[in-house]
Amino acid sequence: MKKLSLLLILGIFAFGFEVSAQTPSTTATIDTVAAKSYVGKYKVKEGPFEELIVSIQGGKLFGEAVGQGSAVLAATKEVDIFEVVGYDGKIEFVRNDQKIIVKAKLSLQGNIIEAEKQP
């Protein structure tokens, strides 16, 4: 079961997904100024990969599991939460009291992978 979960998590980043400013089913670019707060390297605590890199490419927000591939992150109606379309998964960016993003949480089929944002 653990191996199956690991394979599913690795598969998330093997496909590209559209970013949406309103719903995951529409194709739209994101507000790159606002999205810059998500950009950076995130060190994974425990997981099938060591680092998650979030970047903006062509007006879209991407998440790359280093060594596994990358995917476009689809905006949801909730602030700081992006859907991993097709896998019933989400990535939530967590802010501290100063409203600075300090970590990301990837949730997929009951598994959670946490990654701390690097300076």
Top-ranked range on mean pLDDT: pick from 2-16, 71-85, 95-109 = 95-109
pLDDT for the residue numbered 29: 66
Q: Is the pLDDT of residue 17 over 80?
A: no
Where does residue 12 rank: exposed (0-12), middle (13-18), buried (19+ CB within 10 A)? buried
Task: Say how far apart CA 69 and CA 62 lie, in whole Å.
Answer: 10
What is the pLDDT at residue 20? 32
Q: For residue range 25-77, what is the model confidence (pLDDT) as tens digits?
A: 343 567 878 899 999 999 998 888 899 999 998 888 888 888 877 788 889 99
- Which amino acid is residue 8, in one-letter code? L
d(CA 103, CA 114): 7
**Ordered domains of the chain (ranges, CATH):** 2-117 (2.40.128.50)
Question: E strand or H helix at 115, and its extent?
Answer: strand 111-117
Nearest alpha carbon to residue 82 among 31, 28, 105, 90: 90
pLDDT at 62: 87
Q: Which residues, listed in sequence order, are joined to residue 42 by a DSSP beta bridge?
A: 52, 117
The residues with which 113 forms a beta bridge, in sequence order, are 106
Q: What spatial distance separates the first Cα and last Cα of the chain, rounded to whole Å? A: 35
CA dist., res. 54 & res. 73, Å (int): 9
